[in-house]
Amino acid sequence: MASEILDGRKLSSEIEEEIRLKVEKIKKEGGKTPHLAAILVGTDGPSQTYVENKVKACHRVGFESTLLRFSESISQSRLIKEVTRINEDDDIDGLIVQLPLPDHISEEIATETISPLKDVDGFTNQNYGQIIREHHGLLPATPNGVMEMIKRYGIETKGKHAVIVGHSRLVGAPLGLLLSHEGMATVTQCHEFTEDLAKYTRQADILCVAVGKPGLITGDMVKDGVVVIDIGISRVEDPSKKRGFRLSGDVEFDSVSKKASYITPVPGGVGPMTIASLLMNTLKASKLRNASQ
């Protein structure tokens, strides 16, 4: 069976174009331009790339953006002050604090300080709790990007068996909630201590993998016709590449794509959808804040 590629780059470009047109209209009508602020602590290579890509995406759709860089040694209290200052800045609609943070700063305290109204990554407890509400707040960016991809490709979730490998607070767990509540799928959530992982993955109509272990899922672990969403991104050493590494998902693409009906590539699958989702959240946050002012 030849599988169809779930093309996150193409889809995210379409979403960006839709947002760009909406922003153009807001500006023409004299409304406020959505503004995203990002905080980056330290010089971690992947984090810098992620944040820079988010800022570039803001420019493409016509948002304003502010990137605040701090050294690795910034204290927790200073960082919290910055977050609080941005919470109170009326011009800024959305704020992301790029994770991971250095060990001396609590990620939970830092993210919980973000105003839920500006929490466009959807990380705060308040937004998390609203995932299962009908009129939810700002949804976690990566799981929401996955749901958007599933919807736009017309993939049926209702009544299907969705198996999610990984149950992290930021990705696997909220995706399970979304697929169960919004998608009306029957969800099985697997993790590090799941015994006989393949027993579950072979039952999946929709298999989402968010672990960070390249090649974890192989062709013999899936059934024919499965929809595969590979969320994992890891750097794998590769001397043949200029940068010395390549990006790899958790799914062994060659063997799994022979059986899947749909499959995401890595890179070019969920990654661009996460950025599109962040832009959708920023536009939503801006609209909600400006409607209430």
Distance, in Å, from the CA atom of 85 to the CA atom of 255, rounded to the nearest integer, reads 50
Residue 197 contacts ligand NAP per CB under 6 A: yes
Distance, in Å, from the CA atom of 183 to the CA atom of 185, rounded to the nearest integer, reads 5
Taking CB under 6 A as the criterion, the residue among 11, 19, 233, 280 binding ligand NAP is 233
Map tokens 């995210």 to a residue: 12
If the CB atoms of residues 26 and 51 are measured against ligand NAP, the closer one turns out to be 51
| Choices 122-130, 131-139, 218-226, 268-276; region in contact with ligand NAP by CB under 6 A | 268-276
Taking CB under 6 A as the criterion, the residue among 34, 94, 116, 232 binding ligand NAP is 232
- Written in H, E and C, the secondary structure of the chain is CCCEECCHHHHHHHHHHHHHHHHHHHHHCCCCCCEEEEEEECCCHHHHHHHHHHHHHHHHHCCEEEEEEECCCCCHHHHHHHHHHHHHCCCCCEEEECCCCCCCCCHHHHHHHCCCCCECCCCCHHHHHHHHCCCCCCCCHHHHHHHHHHHHCCCCCCCCEEEEECCCCCCHHHHHHHHHHCCCCEEEEECCCCCCHHHHHCCCCEEEECCCCCCCECHHHCCCCCEEEECCCEEEECCCCCCCEEEECCECHHHHHCCCCEECCCCCCHHHHHHHHHHHHHHHHHHHHHHHC
Residue 53 contacts ligand NAP per CB under 6 A: no
Tokens of 257: 């794509």
Residue 111 contacts ligand NAP per CB under 6 A: no
Residue 274 contacts ligand NAP per CB under 6 A: yes
Site string for ligand NAP, 12-51 (x = CB under 6 A): ----------------------------------------
Catalytically active residues are: 54, 98, 121
Distance, in Å, from the CA atom of 233 to the CA atom of 250, rounded to the nearest integer, reads 7
Instruction: Name residues contacting ligand NAP, limited to 139-178 (CB under 6 A).
Output: 142, 165-168, 170-172
Tokens of 52: 């820079």
If the CB atoms of residues 26 and 206 are measured against ligand NAP, the closer one turns out to be 206
Residue 210 contacts ligand NAP per CB under 6 A: yes
Taking CB under 6 A as the criterion, the residue among 231, 263, 280, 283 binding ligand NAP is 231
If the CB atoms of residues 26 and 170 are measured against ligand NAP, the closer one turns out to be 170
CB of 172 to ligand NAP, least distance (A): 5
If the CB atoms of residues 147 and 270 are measured against ligand NAP, the closer one turns out to be 270
Distance, in Å, from the CA atom of 87 to the CA atom of 76, rounded to the nearest integer, reads 16
CB of 149 to ligand NAP, least distance (A): 11
Taking CB under 6 A as the criterion, the residue among 191, 235, 284, 287 binding ligand NAP is 191
CB of 192 to ligand NAP, least distance (A): 4
| Choices 132-140, 180-188, 204-212, 284-292; region in contact with ligand NAP by CB under 6 A | 204-212
CB of 197 to ligand NAP, least distance (A): 6
Contact positions vs ligand NAP (CB under 6 A): 142, 165-168, 170-172, 190-194, 197, 210-213, 231-234, 270-271, 274
